[in-house]
Amino acid sequence: MFYYICGKLTQLKLQTMKKVFRISLKALGIIILLIVLAGLGAYWYINSNLLSFEKDYAEKIDIKELTIDGYAFLDRNGDGKLDIYEDDRKPTNERVKNVLHQMTLEEKIHLLKGSGLGSALGIGNTAVAGAVGTIVPTPRLGIPTIYLSDGPAGLRIAPEREDEDRTYYCTAFPIGTLLSSTWNIDLVNEVGTAMGNEALEYGIDVILGPGANIHRHPFCGRNFEYYSEDPVLTGFIGAAMVNGIESQGIGTSVKHFVANNQEIDRNFNDVIVSDRAMREIYLKGFEIIVKKSQPWTIMSSYNKVNGIYVSESEELLTDILRNDWNFEGLVMTDWFGGNAASNQIAAGNDLLEPGTKKQWKALIEAAENGTLSEEEINTSVKRILKLIIQSKKMQNYQYSNNPNLEAHAEIARHSATEGIILLKNKDALPIKNVKNIALLGVTSYEFIAGGTGSGDVNEAYTVSLEEGLKNAGFEINQAAKKIFKTHKTEHKEEFIKPEGFSAMTTPYFPPRISYTENELNEIIASSDLGIITIGRNSGEGGDRVEKDDFLLSKKEQSMMANVCKAFHKVGKKVIVVMNIGGVIETVSWKSKPDAILLAWQGGQEGGNSVADILSGKVNPSGKLPMTFPVNMNDHASSANFPLEGGTMDIMKMVFATREEKPENEKVKNKDYTYYEEGIYVGYRHFDKAELDVSYPFGFGLSYTTFDLSDFNVTLQDNTIEVTVTVTNSGSLAGKEVLQVYTSKPDTKIDRPLKELRTFTKTKTLKPEEAATVNFQIPVSELSYWSEEASQWRLEKGLYSIQVGASSREIRLSKEIEIN
């Protein structure tokens, strides 16, 4: 009986187990099916809404050439006649009017938003793989696709294409911050010309740059793309870049307009800021760029200003940009920026990028129900058509796909050399009687060309400091190199450079090295000089932090202390090279090495550029475009900045609704940031608050010295004319930057102690050679923004006109009466 019961039970158990197994199998099958369906659904959704939803608007390529009355032209609409818009000889506005007249409302609405992210991801039949956005073609009228691509340090397209052996590398030029450190307008123009030419020859019509946001706080992850804490330096350099690029018939998109000074929650952040700070600091650089270079496009920023998304702000995009400054180009959104498509168009944001199906539907609906009038649509369409008509594409330019990368590499090299700043030199530079150099620190061997994100470039190579010094004829110390190699092998995984999309969002930051006493002794015994490289890397989507980034890490601190001590003990020198994209702390260690070079991130030729300065082939002439503070907290903006760092959420950027959070749920420095410091950004704050700084704005040493003389200031027709003679009083040839500041000693209002108004850089002056330079400052530039009057106001009376070697070293000054 017992066995019988046991048998029955076993049978029952087996049956139950079989049943459970069958049910589990079924459940698993259903789950797999659901996952597959969800995956397919998601793919379908993403493909049809974000990637390629413009299949009916494929570019017309079989356009015939006709000749009528001896004039050869492309018969774009195929009607066998010469239409006004097909006639290159006609003025742009007439051609624009003519196309507009022939377009249907649907075609017009198609133009208002791009064709999705397909081309950026290399999906679909696009002409330029990696181009991050497009202006949709109008096939019926033979209007071509316009390709848009990043960015501020050179063109960013995909270097490889399916089924092709050849590559499409671009030149990595120096980062924006390095370019502004040159204070050389002609040089930046030359860089822009080369960048524009590269775009032209690779079939790109608009470069998404330069970046003109102000360095409000040193932790903004994208500061490397931007120029300065000062709007005049930003404006002059930015305009030179725009003029250079656009000289090639390529458009620019000056970004990110405006007050986009942090990456954390950038898509939703509301900047609470005074009108005065906007006008005098955040808008000012853009204003100068618009007035000096009239860029083809401006990119509105993600953030809100005082409660309104910039891309929906009629005040910013129409009243200020168009009515006050006479901007004649188009405004496009930043990628997936803003909220309501029809509000954006109505406010003056003409083009929505990269464009989604949702936006297309919203615009159709708004046009149908009258919330968006045809007049508003026409206004934006006309601006877009103007760009298309102006473009080389419309002139049927046959791009070569072979820009002169060698010539551009040379431009990258000499522009990077000129932006390198000599911060300290105790008889250590240029290097003399040195054969063998010990390179310490990971970045000496893994030099960083630029920052990450859309400001990164796909370059063919990056010259490291090691290679640069070898090219300059120096010997590289093998004991130090061996330690680096072992370190790299031990941390193989962390030395793998992120590629593709993850390279966009993950700064490459391999682990630092420590050196034992024995190792250092061996290195010192076999070398003549030590070079420590301190590297940093940041970029789009994240902000920097204090620990291990602004401050040296523990390992770096001990490397600095031990290396300097050990080399000095035997009478050998140590030089520090900073291969960084943003400001770091320097006070705690700057007394240790014999010389400090701020090399920034010099693009693909970075190592050669640093070697040019170290060897004395080029005399350094870079000057700081921002202040290096003693402490991070000395910046007034530190009271209102997301100091804890973090990275942006891409899914949230693309998919999250832009619904307003209730007031009590809003988080400071994420949902909103209060620009409590007002106009007191950078040196304006450090000077006013009488704070010590580590290195002041405008500072930079040379291997020679310069004397100033014959300083003259006069007032003529509402313009201040300044003349000064600069003489090379040292023994090496070099260039000097002249910075002109003004100050209002008896001001009745709260104003900065001094403000940069203009500047110039001399050509190379030989020893004893002199140059006389002239500046013109319109008196109106001395105005301040009056909140009460909502206008620029000029204080009458005495002003001091000053020529400085930095904001803290005024070398000449004269007073002038303005009535």
Interface contacts to ligand BGC, rule CB under 6 A: 132, 150-151, 208, 255, 334-335, 454
Q: Minimal distance in Å, beta carbon 641 to ligand BGC?
A: 19
Kindly report the three-state secondary structure assignment for every residue of 214-279: CCCCCCCCCHHHCCCCCHHHHHHHHHHHHHHHHCCCCEEEEEEECCCCCCCCCCCCEEECCHHHHH
CB-based contacts of 465: which residues, under 8 Å, 6+ apart? 439, 443, 444, 445, 447, 531, 533, 577, 579, 606, 607, 610, 611
> How far, CA to CA in Å, does 688 sit from each of 30, 270, 682, 685, 755?
69, 27, 10, 5, 11
Is 205 within 8 Å of 251 (Cβ atoms)?
A: yes
525 C-beta neighbours (distance < 10 Å), count: 10
Helices 405-419 + 606-614 axis angle, to 10? 50
Is 605 within 8 Å of 409 (Cβ atoms)?
A: yes
Rounded to an integer, what distance in angstroms lies between the CA atom of residue 46 and that of residue 713?
63
Q: Of 756, 814, 806, 816, which is closest to residue 280 (Cα–Cα)?
A: 756
- Tell how far CA 86 is from the center of its chain: 36
Q: Would you say 132 or 411 has its CB closer to ligand BGC?
A: 132
> 287-308 burial string, b = 16+ CB within 10 Å, else e?
bbbbebbbbbbbbbbbbbbbeb
- And the tokens for 810? 């005024």
Q: Minimal distance in Å, beta carbon 225 to ligand BGC?
A: 8
Angle at 244 between CA 291 and CA 451, to 5 degrees: 100
* Active-site position among 334, 543, 549, 612: 334
- And the tokens for 773? 């330079």
Q: Minimal distance in Å, beta carbon 289 to ligand BGC?
A: 16
Rounded to an integer, what distance in angstroms lies between the CA atom of residue 811 and that of residue 814?
11
Is 598 within 8 Å of 591 (Cβ atoms)?
A: no
Active site residue 334: yes
Is 465 within 8 Å of 447 (Cβ atoms)?
A: yes
Beta bridge pairs of residue 88: none
Q: Would you say 336 or 672 has its CB closer to ligand BGC?
A: 336
Q: Would you say 263 or 418 has its CB closer to ligand BGC?
A: 263
CB-based contacts of 237: which residues, under 8 Å, 6+ apart? 179, 180, 183, 185, 188, 210, 227, 228
The single residue listed with the structure tokens 């090399």 is: 599
Q: Minimal distance in Å, beta carbon 695 to ligand BGC?
A: 29
For residue 95, with 0-12 CB atoms within 10 Å meaning exposed, 13-18 middle and 19 or more buried, which class applies? buried
Q: Of 281, 299, 309, 179, which is closest to residue 625 (Cα–Cα)?
A: 179
Q: Of 654, 455, 545, which is closest to residue 264 (Cα–Cα)?
A: 545
CB-based contacts of 68: which residues, under 8 Å, 6+ apart? 81, 82
- And the tokens for 196? 């524009």
Q: Would you say 103 or 208 has its CB closer to ligand BGC?
A: 208
Q: Would you say 193 or 454 has its CB closer to ligand BGC?
A: 454
Q: Is 187 helix (H, G, I), strand (E, B) or coil?
A: helix
Beta bridge pairs of residue 668: 672
Sign of CA dihedral 694, 696, 702, 704: negative
Q: Where are the beta strands (DSSP E) in 25-127?
A: 64-68, 71-75
Identity (one letter) of the amino acid at 798? L
Q: Minimal distance in Å, beta carbon 307 to ligand BGC?
A: 21
Q: Would you say 255 or 393 has its CB closer to ligand BGC?
A: 255
Rounded to an integer, what distance in angstroms lies between the CA atom of residue 10 and that of residue 476?
78
CB-based contacts of 25: which residues, under 8 Å, 6+ apart? none
Rounded to an integer, what distance in angstroms lies between the CA atom of residue 85 and that of residue 141?
10
Q: What is the dihedral of CA 422, 423, 426, 427, to 10 degrees?
A: 0
Q: Minimal distance in Å, beta carbon 334 to ligand BGC?
A: 5
Q: Would you say 132 or 212 has its CB closer to ligand BGC?
A: 132
**Phi and psi torsions of 10, nearest 5°:** -60, -45
Identity (one letter) of the amino acid at 418? E
Report strand pairing: 573-579 vs 542-543.
Answer: unpaired
Beta bridge pairs of residue 760: 738
Which residues are known catalytic residues? 334
